[in-house]
Each structure stands twice: as structure tokens, then as C-alpha cells.
Amino acid sequence: MTSAHSDPAPVTVRVPAKVNLELLVGPLRDDGFHSLSTVYQAVNLHDDVTVALDDDWGCTVSGAGTDSVPTDDSNLAMRAARLLHDEIGLDAPVHITIAKTIPVAGGMAGGSADAAAALVACDRMWSLGLSSEELEEYAAELGSDVPFLIRGGTAVGSGRGERLAPVLARGNFHWVFAISDIGLSTPEVYAECDRLRGSAPVPEPTPSTELMSALRSGDPRALAAQLTNDLEAAAISLRPELGEVLESGMEFGALGGIVSGSGPTVAFLVEDVEAAIDLTVALTATGTAREVRKAVGPVHGAHVIPARVD
Ligand code: C5P
């Protein structure tokens, strides 16, 4: 371990998961991405990402379902740290330790969140003093939703999801997430969306004004009525059991339900914390999901926390 006195101390960053309140998929672009209009909300399921100088590059990941998470250079957090490192022209390998509670491969941006956290942590460790705008530019090189995980809160994403504008959202919204082991690849879900749409021309999407006023009102019933995901039909077409999970949640009293991003996590909006506890218990009892977790949004994006002592 590199331990010269002047070495910077390790830095830990806490980063939230996201849910898409609205995900409108536009036409396929020449670069292989779809133009999007999406409304992201950050929710308090977190990963903690610690960066520390070391003799070699490396990555350690802990938490449920993390066996499938790569620890080599294909890990998005590693790519993020290397991106900043190479950009600045350093020769200082980093070890990244990721403690995951965001569902792995769940459509809640767990990998993107770790990349966002690694950028924020390296910026602090190396005292680079990058602005949020500069960090978000690096983030956009790593993935469409990485910039949002730096910013947090509630925001509209356009372009391929990486161009952000803030949204006024009043109050807190209570969520229940049904997390399953069914594998779903994001590119496959987009491709299925294209297949289901056929050859009809697809318009450029724009955020719905009804959703914006529901967010301003802070009323979960109004928001529930506006939850929209153009990828939902594609995800259910590939994994019909997701339709059953959605039905169960609604029968058990959710105000609204939606496949989260490209799935397979299903997100339910509920009235308050008591309703969240009730729905969590009811859905857990059905056994249709591997795990059921409640959360609140919006919360802050990636931010430095005191170092972990475990
Ligand atoms: O940007 P990200 O790495 O999250 O994208 C993963 C994949 O999802 C892309 O390779 C693409 O197949 C699909 N995608 C898309 N349009 C977007 C975002 C993602 O087609 N706006």
C-alpha cells in the first residue's frame, strides 16, 4: 500500500439509485442511442464507494447479488477513475471499494451510480476542484444516466438522457421496489421497444406538463396517474412475469406502478411511509420478487461522507 505522508487520504462517496418517473423513448439516432425525454428521481437506496491510492489498480465489491459485478477495468467505477486519472496525467493507481445496496442490474442505475461516485471521490481525493458541470461532462462519457447520479434530486434528462435540467418537486414521495433476479439487458429492451413499434415514425419526445404539475403539487396520487415508461411494454414482452408483479402491487394498494428504467425492478408509488411498510410486507409474502425494499425520493446526488471504518 502506498503510504507516504503526503499521500491523500481515502475518500468515501455515498450515491443514490434512480427511478424514472417518465421515460419517453424517441427515434433511434445514428450513434445507436435513442433520443429520450425522461424525468429522473434519486431515491435513498445507496452504494458507498471508497477510493484509495494503492500500488495497483483494483476493485472490491460487496453486497447482495454482487457476484456478477465485474472487478476488472470493465467495472464502470474503474472506468470513471481511470478517465479522470488519464485526463489529469497522473501515475497513481487507485483501489475502489464498493459497498452495494442498490440492486445489481435492476434498472436503477447501480453501475452508473458507482461511476458517478468514483468521479466525485477522485475529484476530492486529488483536490482537483472540478465544478459540477465539469464532473457531469466526464460522467456523460461513461453512460447516459451517470450525470444525473452526480446531481440527484428530480431532473429532466434529454438527448440520450445525459442533458439535465432541474425540476421543481415539492415534498417527499414514498416508493416500494420489487427486485427480481430475472436478467434483462438494457440494449435488448431498447431493441424490443423498436421491434414492437415497427416501422411507424417516432416523434421527438418532450416532458409532459401534467407530470411537472403533479411534481409541483407534491401529491402522490397526482404523480401516480402520470407515471409512464415507454420501455415497460418491451420489458414485459421479454419477461411476462413482470406484468404479474405490477398487478400484485396494484391489488395490494399501490397508487401507481411502473417498470423502473429498462427493468426488471418494478417501482410502486404509495401514499406514505405506513403504506410503504404494508406493501413491502404484502409483496414479500407473495414471493414474486427476490427482495422488496422501500425508499424515499428525492434525495441528494453523489456526496462525500465520513470514511467507513469497517
Ligand atoms: O448509456 P448507457 O450505457 O446506460 O446505455 C446502455 C445501452 O442502452 C446503450 O448501449 C443502448 O443500447 C441503450 N440506450 C439507448 N438509448 C439511450 C440510452 C441507452 O438506446 N438514450
Q: What is the CATH number of the domain that holds 148?
A: 3.30.230.10
Residues 70 and 140 in one domain: yes
Residues 245 and 100 in one domain: no
Q: Which residue has the least CA distance to atom 2 on ligand 1?
A: 143
Of 273, 206, 263, the C-alpha closest to 236 is 263
Q: What is the interface pTM, i.e. ipTM, of the complex? A: 0.95
Q: Is the CB of 140 under 6 A from ligand 1?
A: no
Active site residue 145: yes
Q: Is the CB of 186 under 6 A from ligand 1?
A: yes
Residues 18 and 42 in one domain: yes
Number of folded domains that form the chain: 2
Q: What angle do CA 102, 107, 210 make, to 5 degrees?
A: 110
Residues 254 and 178 in one domain: yes
Residues 45 and 142 in one domain: yes
Inside any domain, residue 188: yes
Q: Please state the pTM of the whole predicted model.
A: 0.95
Residues 147 and 180 in one domain: no
Phi, psi of 288 (to 5 degrees): -80, -20
Phi, psi of 233 (to 5 degrees): -60, -35
Residues 39 and 149 in one domain: yes
Active site residue 18: yes
Residues 152 and 201 in one domain: no
Residues 162 and 44 in one domain: yes
| Contact call for residues 178 and 266 (beta carbons, < 8 A) | yes
Residue with cell 394498494: 253
CA distance 9 to 6: 9
Q: What is the CATH number of the domain that holds 224?
A: 3.30.70.890
pLDDT in tens, the chain (310 residues): 444 457 899 999 999 999 999 999 999 999 999 999 999 999 999 999 999 999 999 999 999 889 989 999 999 999 999 999 999 998 999 999 999 999 998 889 999 999 999 999 999 999 999 999 999 999 999 999 999 999 999 999 999 999 999 999 999 999 999 998 888 999 999 999 999 999 989 999 999 999 999 999 999 999 999 999 999 999 999 999 999 999 999 999 999 999 999 999 999 999 999 999 999 999 999 998 989 999 999 999 999 998 756 5
Residues 80 and 143 in one domain: yes
| Contact call for residues 122 and 94 (beta carbons, < 8 A) | yes
Write out the E strands in 103-262. Answer: 154-158, 163-166, 173-179, 228-229, 256-259
Which domain does 67 fall in, by range? 11-167
Of 145, 167, 189, the one marking the end of a domain is 167
